[in-house]
Amino acid sequence: MVGMDYPASKAGLLCLTKSLAKNCAAYGITVNSIAPGLINTEMTTTFGYDPETIPLKRVGTPEEVADTAVFLASDMSRYITGACIDVNGGMSMW
């Protein structure tokens, strides 16, 4: 099926996150992932996407994704494992 490779790869990453989290938990290791939405980068400037279609009405910044990674790497997230955090301005809400 044409176009199924991208969503299939994302589903694979979600399953990998959960599997690694389960296998590493006994060692006190947490595993999480980040799913960024439309982020303002050189690549996305060519997309022609309308920010008004995003619930927060703007494109995200690389710093917002980095802030999420810093949070997950910090002790503040010590009881979070197997999670995928969406950083997408609400695009995945339904």
- Spell out a b/e string for 32-62, using b for 16 or more CB atoms within 10 Å of the CB, else e: bbbbebbbeeeeeeeeeeeeeebeeeebbee
Which residues are 86's β-sheet partners? 35
* Secondary structure of residue 39 in the 3-state scheme: strand
Q: Give the C-alpha separation, 50 to 6, whole Å.
A: 22
Which residues are known catalytic residues?
Answer: 6
